[in-house]
Each structure stands twice: as C-alpha cells, then as structure tokens.
Amino acid sequence: MIILTNKVVTFHKKKTSMRLTNLEWDIFNAVCEHEKIRRRTLLEHICETRSHNLNMTSAVRLFMLLYLYNKSITENSNKKRRDTLHRALQQLN
C-alpha cells in the first residue's frame, strides 16, 4: 500500500510542508546520507535550481528521479565517474 506522509521541512529560514510517499522520503534521506549533505542544504539547492513552474514537492520528486537516473548511467558506463548530485541539480532547470 502506498502511504503519503506529510512532513514539515525548513529551508531558507522558512517552514513548509511536503507530502511524499514513505519510499520517496527514504530515497531522499538515502541521497542525503550518500552525498553527506544535510536535508536542509539539499532542499535549498533544489529550491535555487528548480524551474519556477515546479512547486517544491514536484521539484524534489524530479530531482530524485534525475539523481537515480544519472547514478545508474554513471555506474553502468566505463566513463569517468561524474558528480551525480551536481548533474541532477543542473537538470532541474
């Protein structure tokens, strides 16, 4: 069963709520852990680089999709490892 969980997050000194599935929260936290970045810092980066027609929840979902896509390409290729976090943030715009 898919359960949506509402959480209050803080970034740029303001609070807002985001509603993601439990799996999406787990993935977002795993990205933060893997990249050794605080959740607030990643949310600020996403906010700064997102297209203005995306709300934050949509931007976070898109970021995670792009991050995992870029990571899979990097790991499945023989090319030099790329900065997955940076590439996913650039593609949000």
Tell me the CATH number at 58: 1.10.3990
Q: Each residue of 10-66: pLDDT tens digit?
A: 999 899 999 999 999 999 999 999 999 999 999 999 999 999 899 999 999 999 999
pLDDT score, position 55: 94
Read off the pLDDT of residues 62-82 as tens digits, 9 standing for 90 and up: 999 999 988 887 666 655 555
Dmax (CA) of the chain: 42
Domain residues for the domain of 36 are: 4-91
CA triple 87-88-89, angle to 5 deg: 90
Give the contacts of 88 (CB within 8 A, at least 6 positions apart).
Answer: 63, 66, 67, 69, 70
Residue range 9-19, pLDDT digits in tens: 999 989 999 99
Q: How many domains does the chain have?
A: 1
